[in-house]
Amino acid sequence: MEEIGALELLALAPPPSEDWFSLIHTWLGCAETVGAAYQAWEELRSKYADALQNHAQKIEMLKLHGEFVLGAAEQANGEADIKGFEEATKLASLAPSEKGDIERFRQQWEGVVHMWENAQLQMRCFFEKASREIEEEIVRRIDKTLKLVRPKLHLTIHHLGKEHCILQFERMGELDAVLLSRLLSGKIPTHYAFLFDDSVSQLNGMADVVYAEKPFEPSSLASPWPLIHSLMGDKSALSAPWKGQIPLLYEGGVLWMLKQKGIVMEIEQVEVAKGQATELLEVAKAQWMVAHFFRWMREGKMELQLRPNAFIAQ
């Protein structure tokens, strides 16, 4: 058998890694806005997903190809009367016919597969570094914007008898939502339009409150509340995969969040241990929550306008 030559190995080796850092600098240089930086992040994620899928498919096909040729060669080596073997194994011009040839082929082919697997690990490392660089740039742009702009909120209090009420807000714009997330949860969202994503989980038919991104794995989406609480307190994390909601406060085992509900947003309280969420608040707890918004307004973090409900406005 002819061994795999240097040219054949070169043809099977993975291509050089793409210079993603130059790409993101080009994307970020197009516009000095928060939205443009998020667009660069989406472009990076898209390119990484495509490249990761391509590498995975290539590795799988290389393994299948090698196993096929090795299996055919071993059968031919043990059954000399098989006819047409040489024609049937003209894959990559490799037709091992002796035990030593087969072992050399196995080692060389495994080496090619390892090169692709190592390239995949290197690509993941490049992506994480490039993603962190974009995260830091988005934080810089958001903090710069917050010196000039404050998110605007419009609150309507809906009384349901004397004991309960619902705190409802007009849905804000994308930039205001990102700014508010940075101010109140301490994290930037990983997606610019995160507050407007009402897609439902294919697992339980309910809207998820986080994307299936680090540190949230698909298995944690059904009960993400403890991890949300933990992430809110993680000073090293710049971003969080919030989806359709902004965590606001954690107090006494209860997580308070601002959640999208169609064309409006509502305050929800979640008992973390039980995973039970409700927008129907006791009056005392609703007053406590609104007091925080008044405090944030006095601190200059936001603009807040109270609006009468429809019954009072009549």
8 A C-beta contact, residue 278 and residue 268: yes
In a domain, 91, yes or no: yes
Does the predicted model carry a pTM greater than 0.85? no
Q: Do 140 and 161 share a domain, yes or no?
A: no
Q: Please state, in angstroms and rounded to a whole number, the distance separating the CA atoms of residues 267 and 288.
A: 12
Which residue's structure tokens are 């939502």? Answer: 177
Whole-number pLDDT of residue 99: 60
Q: Do 210 and 168 share a domain, yes or no?
A: yes
Q: Please state, in angstroms and rounded to a whole number, the distance separating the CA atoms of residues 245 and 228.
A: 11
In a domain, 1, yes or no: no
Whole-number pLDDT of residue 27: 67
Whole-number pLDDT of residue 141: 93
Whole-number pLDDT of residue 189: 96
Which residue's structure tokens are 């969202």? Answer: 189
Q: Please state, in angstroms and rounded to a whole number, the distance separating the CA atoms of residues 168 and 120.
A: 47
Whole-number pLDDT of residue 310: 54
Does residue 215 have a cis bond before it (omega within 30 degrees)?
A: yes
Q: Do 141 and 160 share a domain, yes or no?
A: no
Q: Do 162 and 130 share a domain, yes or no?
A: no
Domain endpoint, select from 99, 131, 146? 146
Angle between helices 174-184 and 34-78 (to 10 degrees): 80
DSSP labels, 140-185: HHHHHHHTT---EEEEEEEEETTTEEEEEEEPPPHHHHHHHHHHHT
Domain endpoint, select from 84, 113, 146? 146
Neighbours of 169 (CB within 10 A): 20
Angle between helices 20-28 and 99-146 (to 10 degrees): 20
8 A C-beta contact, residue 115 and residue 13: yes
Q: Do 259 and 173 share a domain, yes or no?
A: yes
- Give per-10-residue mean pLDDT for the chain (314 aa): 44 63 69 87 87 81 76 66 44 50 74 79 84 91 92 94 94 93 94 80 58 78 83 91 92 91 92 89 96 94 85 51
Report which residue type is found at 125: C
In a domain, 139, yes or no: yes
Q: Do 94 and 210 share a domain, yes or no?
A: no
Tokens of 148: 């000039």
8 A C-beta contact, residue 1 and residue 97: yes
Report residue 167: phi and psi, to 5°: -100, 115
Q: Do 138 and 158 share a domain, yes or no?
A: no
In a domain, 78, yes or no: yes
Q: Do 77 and 210 share a domain, yes or no?
A: no
Residues spanned by the domain of 157: 152-313
Whole-number pLDDT of residue 53: 85
Report residue 293: phi and psi, to 5°: -65, -40
In a domain, 24, yes or no: yes
Domain endpoint, select from 113, 146, 179? 146
In a domain, 232, yes or no: yes
8 A C-beta contact, residue 247 and residue 232: yes
In a domain, 241, yes or no: yes
Q: Do 214 and 265 share a domain, yes or no?
A: yes
Q: Please state, in angstroms and rounded to a whole number, the distance separating the CA atoms of residues 89 and 264.
A: 64
In a domain, 171, yes or no: yes
User: For residue 245, which of 227, 217, 264 has the smallest C-alpha distance?
Assistant: 264
Q: Please state, in angstroms and rounded to a whole number, the distance separating the CA atoms of residues 33 and 39.
A: 10
Q: Quote the number of domains for the chain.
A: 2
Within 13 Å and on the Cβ side, how many CA atoms surround 100? 3
Q: How far is CA 198 from the centre of its chain?
A: 16
Q: Do 254 and 197 share a domain, yes or no?
A: yes
Q: Please state, in angstroms and rounded to a whole number, the distance separating the CA atoms of residues 273 and 229.
A: 11
Q: Do 283 and 164 share a domain, yes or no?
A: yes
Q: Do 271 and 225 share a domain, yes or no?
A: yes
- The three-point CA angle 164-166-168 to 5° equals 165
Tokens of 75: 């059968």
